[in-house]
A and B are shown apart, each in its own frame.
Chain A
Amino acid sequence: GDSVTQTEGLVTLTEGLPVMLNCTYQTIYSNPFLFWYVQHLNESPRLLLKSFTDNKRTEHQGFHATLHKSSSSFHLQKSSAQLSDSALYYCALSVISYNVLYFGSGTKLTVEP
Chain B
Amino acid sequence: GPKVLQIPSHQIIDMGQMVTLNCDPVSNHLYFYWYKQILGQQMEFLVNFYNGKVMEKSKLFKDQFSVERPDGSYFTLKIQPTALEDSAVYFCASSLQPNQDTQYFGPGTRLLVL
Q: Is B103 an interface residue (CB 8 A)?
A: yes
Given contacts A90-B43, A103-B43, contact A98 B106 (CB under 8 A): no
Q: Is A50 an interface residue (CB 8 A)?
A: yes
* Inter-chain contacts of A94 with B (CB < 8 A): 100
> Are the C-beta atoms of B103 and A101 separated by less than 8 Å?
yes
> Are the C-beta atoms of B56 and A104 separated by less than 8 Å?
no
Min CB gap A77→B, angstroms: 21
Report the Cα distance A45→B104, complex, angstroms. Answer: 8
Query: Chain A: interface secondary structure?
Result: loop
Report the Cα distance A37→B106, complex, angstroms. Answer: 13
* Inter-chain contacts of B50 with A (CB < 8 A): 98
Nearest-CB residue, chain A, relative to B41:
A105
> Are the C-beta atoms of B101 and A99 separated by less than 8 Å?
yes
> Are the C-beta atoms of A100 and B56 separated by less than 8 Å?
yes
Report the Cα distance A47→B100, complex, angstroms. Answer: 12
> Are the C-beta atoms of B105 and A98 separated by less than 8 Å?
no
Which residues, 61 to 114 on B, are CB-close (under 8 Å) to A?
A: 91, 95, 98-108
Min CB gap A6→B, angstroms: 8
Report the Cα distance A42→B6, complex, angstroms. Answer: 13
Q: Is A63 an interface residue (CB 8 A)?
A: no
Against B, the Cβ 8 Å flags (1 = close, 0 = not) of A38-51 are 00001111110010
> Are the C-beta atoms of B56 and A33 separated by less than 8 Å?
no
Report the Cα distance A90→B43, complex, angstroms. Answer: 9
The chain A residues found within 8 Å of chain B, CB to CB, are 33, 37, 42-47, 50, 52, 90, 94, 97-106
25 contacts between A and B (CB under 8 A): A33-B100, A43-B107, A44-B4, A44-B104, A44-B106, A44-B107, A44-B108, A45-B43, A45-B105, A46-B104, A47-B102, A47-B104, A90-B42, A97-B56, A98-B48, A98-B50, A98-B55, A99-B95, A99-B98, A99-B103, A100-B45, A103-B35, A103-B43, A104-B42, A105-B42
